[in-house]
């Protein structure tokens, strides 16, 4: 998946985290536990997407360095 698509997914996941956080603040006691579970899952998704983006960026930087090495510049 491209960095651009990962960034779009990360943005959506972050919006979900913010929405769930807001809902959690205003939720009834019975609903808070369910929202906490959803919030944990959404935060985990954000972390995973961030790691994927970072890995894509690192591999792109490595390719640039390797290409410079091959070209002798």
27: phi > 0 → left, psi -120 to 50 → alpha, else beta; which?
A: beta
Residue 73 pLDDT exceeds 90: no
pLDDT tens, 1-28?
A: 788 999 999 999 999 999 999 999 999 9
2: phi > 0 → left, psi -120 to 50 → alpha, else beta; which?
A: beta
pLDDT tens, 43-57?
A: 999 999 999 999 888
Q: Which helix (H) or strand (E) holds 73?
A: none
Task: Give residue 35's pLDDT band: very low, low, confident or very high (50, 70, 90).
Answer: very high
Global pTM reads 0.76
């Amino acid at each position: 998946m491209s960095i651009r698509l990962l960034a779009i997914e990360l943005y959506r996941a972050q919006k979900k985290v913010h929405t769930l956080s807001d809902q959690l603040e205003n939720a009834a006691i019975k609903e808070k536990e369910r929202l906490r579970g959803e919030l944990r899952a959404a935060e985990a998704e954000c972390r995973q997407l961030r790691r994927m983006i970072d890995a894509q960026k690192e591999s792109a930087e490595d390719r640039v360095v390797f290409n410079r090495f091959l070209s002798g510049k």
